[in-house]
Amino acid sequence: MTPFLYVFSLLSLLSSGAIFGFFYAWVCSTMWGLDAADPALAIGAMQAMNASVRNAVFAPAFFGTPCVLIATAMLAWLCRLKAASVIFAIAGLLFLSGGMILTMTVNVPMNEALAAVAIPQDATEARRIWESYSGPWQFWNMVRTIVSGVTLALTGIAIFILQPRAA
Q: State whether residue 14 is helix, strand or coil.
A: helix
Q: What is the mean pLDDT of residues 96-105?
A: 97
Question: 114 Cβ partners below 8 Å, 6+ apart?
Answer: 43, 46, 47, 50, 129, 133
Dist CA 115 CA 134 (whole Å): 13
Dist CA 26 CA 42 (whole Å): 13
3-state helix, strand, coil in the chain (%, to 5): 85, 0, 15
- Each domain of the chain, given as residue ranges in start order, spans 3-162
Model's pTM, two decimal places? 0.92
Nearest in space to 20 (alpha carbons), one of 144, 160, 134: 144
pLDDT in tens, 31-75: 999 999 999 999 999 999 999 998 999 999 999 999 999 999 999
Q: Is the pLDDT of residue 143 over 60?
A: yes
Q: Is the pLDDT of residue 21 over 90?
A: yes
* Cβ 30 vs Cβ 100: under 8 Å: no
| Signed CA dihedral, 16, 20, 23, 26: sign only | negative
Q: Is the pLDDT of residue 137 over 80?
A: yes
Q: Is the pLDDT of residue 7 over 70?
A: yes
